[in-house]
């Protein structure tokens, strides 16, 4: 459990108090130069990963125009500097899906350490379970490059981890990183 002196996204302790104590996991990813440079360039130490349950009980995943064919994953996005963690969850859900959501629980804190040629870069992913409240599904933000959505079962989300870990060589570092949240969601629910 993060202590009051530990650095984290703004509002982390408030999110824990309000939505429950998340499971904490740590991962070390040995990655190639290209993926490491992409992460370093993003300059975002924190992100939210969103397990969004629709009204029909299925979970929403998405794909983007530049992903390998048939690659879908959970929603995610960076926490802006100074942005409250709870606000980041709601903002990212709305930006990527057009849906207003209600946060149900704080599932996990995934502490990633990316290592490449003696250099190291941390990133923390905060995994939240949310439920659809209102809105019309669709992404109006062209910067997101989202080209499709699918509704899947929780079992399918867990299976996506295997698919992400089996992507082509140019995508394998990204896939292994993204697989962690899918695997944890499947394990916890």
Mean pLDDT on 16-26: 98
**Tell me: the pLDDT tens digits for 88-105?**
999 999 999 999 999 999
> pLDDT at position 56, please?
98
Rounded to whole angstroms, the Cα distance separating 31 from 48 reads 21
Flag whether pLDDT at 140 surpasses 80.
no
Q: What is the pLDDT, as a whole number, of residue 6? A: 53
The yes-or-no verdict on residue 4 having pLDDT over 50 is no
CA distances to 21, 48, 112, 118 from 93, rounded to whole Å, are 21, 10, 22, 36
Looking at domain 15-188, its CATH superfamily turns out to be: Nucleoside Triphosphate Pyrophosphohydrolase (3.90.79.10)
- Measured from the Cβ of residue 56, the count of other Cβ atoms closer than 10 Å reads 7
- pLDDT band for 144, please (50, 70, 90 cuts): confident
Q: Taking the model in full, what pTM does it have?
A: 0.95
pLDDT of residue 7: 79
Model pLDDT for residues 22-77, shown as the tens digit of each residue: 999 999 999 999 999 999 999 999 999 999 999 999 999 999 999 999 999 999 99
| Interacting residues of 108 by C-beta distance below 8 A, sequence separation 6+ | 22, 23, 24, 25, 125, 126, 127, 181, 184, 185, 188
More confident residue, 30 or 144: 30
pLDDT, tens only, 102-138: 999 999 999 999 999 999 999 999 999 999 999 999 9
Q: Which residue has the tokens 């998340």?
A: 22
Instruction: Flag whether pLDDT at 170 surpasses 80.
Output: yes
Q: Among candidates 185, 127, 126, which has minimal Cα distance to 159?
A: 185
DSSP 80: P
CA distances to 34, 40, 59, 173, 182 from 53, rounded to whole Å, are: 34, 32, 4, 27, 14
In the chain, domain spans: 15-188
| Residue 3: band (very low, low, confident or very high) from pLDDT cuts 50, 70, 90 | very low
């Amino acid at each position: 459990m993060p202590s009051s002196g530990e650095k984290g996204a703004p509002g982390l302790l408030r999110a824990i108090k309000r939505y429950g104590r998340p499971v904490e996991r740590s991962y070390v990813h040995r990655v190639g130069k290209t993926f490491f440079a992409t992460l370093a360039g993003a300059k975002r130490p924190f992100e939210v990963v969103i397990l969004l349950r629709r009204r029909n009980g299925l979970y929403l995943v998405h794909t983007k125009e530049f992903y390998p064919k048939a690659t879908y994953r959970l929603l995610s996005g960076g926490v802006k500097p100074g942005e409250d963690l709870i606000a980041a969850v709601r903002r990212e859900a709305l930006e990527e899906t057009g849906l207003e959501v209600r946060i149900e629980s704080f599932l996990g804190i995934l502490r990633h350490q990316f290592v490449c040629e003696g250099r190291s870069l941390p990133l923390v992913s905060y995994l939240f379970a949310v439920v659809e409240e209102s809105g019309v599904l669709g992404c109006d933000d062209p910067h997101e490059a989202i080209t499709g959505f699918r509704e899947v079962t929780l079992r399918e989300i867990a299976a996506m981890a295997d698919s992400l870990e089996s992507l082509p060589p140019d995508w394998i570092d990204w896939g292994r990183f993204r697989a962690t949240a899918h695997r944890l969601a499947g394990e916890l629910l």
